[in-house]
C-alpha cells in the first residue's frame, strides 16, 4: 500500500510538471535564427539546454527568419500562435527595419500589434530591444531605440533594453560582417535575456 501511494504521488508530480510546462515561441530575425552559425551553437539552443538544466519542461519553438522585419513578423504571427499556442512569446525584431531606414513609428505599430495579438491568445510577451550603429545619425538612432522602452511602458510588458548589450561594438564578438554575433557571443546573448525571461516561465 505504501509503495502504491509513493507511485501515485510521483505520477501526480509528473502530471503537474507536464501541466505547467508550456511553449516558448521566439519570433525574431537573423540573430535568433543563428545566421552564419551552426544553429546548435546559437543562443536559442543554449536556452533550450539551460531550461533542461534548471528543471524546466518548456518547449522552445524558434520561428526566427534571417532578414525578417517587424512587418514580416506581424504577418507570420497569427499562424504561429494558432499552431503552437505558446505561453510566452519573445519578440526579437526591428534590426532589419532600422538597417533599411524604415520609420520608427511603423516599427512601433507593428510590434504593438504583435504584442496585442500575443496577449489576446493568452501568451505573455517579452520584448528584446535593439539599437543601431551611430552612423545612422543621432536623431534616427535615438528615435529607433526609444520605440522599445515606450512600448514596454505602454503595454506593461518586460523588456531587455538592448539585446546586444556588451556585444555590439566589440569586433571580437561579431562575425566578419560586423552585424551578426559570433559563436563567442551566444552565451552573452542568453545571459542578457535570462534574468528577465526566467520569472515568466
Active-site positions read 30, 177, 180
Cα 117 off chain centre by: 16
Cα 93 off chain centre by: 9
Compute the distance between CA of residue 120 and CA of residue 49 in angstroms, rounded to an integer.
29
Compute the distance between CA of residue 93 and CA of residue 75 in angstroms, rounded to an integer.
13
DSSP state of 163: T
Compute the distance between CA of residue 104 and CA of residue 101 in angstroms, rounded to an integer.
9
Amino acid at each position: 500500500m505504501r509503495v502504491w501511494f509513493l507511485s501515485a504521488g510521483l505520477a501526480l508530480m509528473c502530471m503537474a510538471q507536464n501541466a505547467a510546462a508550456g511553449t516558448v515561441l521566439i519570433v525574431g530575425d537573423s540573430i535568433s535564427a543563428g545566421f552564419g552559425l551552426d544553429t546548435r551553437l546559437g543562443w536559442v539552443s543554449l536556452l533550450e539546454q539551460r531550461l533542461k538544466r534548471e528543471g524546466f519542461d518548456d518547449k522552445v519553438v524558434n520561428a526566427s527568419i534571417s532578414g525578417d522585419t517587424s512587418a514580416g513578423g506581424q504577418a507570420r504571427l497569427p499562424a504561429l500562435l494558432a499552431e503552437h499556442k505558446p505561453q510566452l512569446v519573445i519578440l526579437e525584431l526591428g534590426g532589419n527595419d532600422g538597417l533599411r531606414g524604415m520609420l520608427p513609428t511603423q516599427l512601433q505599430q507593428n510590434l504593438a500589434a504583435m504584442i496585442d495579438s500575443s496577449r489576446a491568445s493568452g501568451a505573455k510577451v517579452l520584448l528584446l530591444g535593439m539599437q543601431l550603429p551611430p552612423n545612422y545619425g543621432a536623431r534616427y538612432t535615438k528615435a529607433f531605440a526609444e520605440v522599445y522602452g515606450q512600448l514596454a511602458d505602454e503595454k506593461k510588458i518586460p523588456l531587455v533594453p538592448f539585446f546586444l548589450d556588451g556585444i555590439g561594438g566589440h569586433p571580437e564578438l561579431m562575425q566578419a560582417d560586423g552585424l551578426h554575433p559570433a559563436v563567442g557571443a551566444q552565451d552573452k546573448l542568453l545571459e542578457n535575456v535570462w534574468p528577465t525571461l526566467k520569472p515568466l516561465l
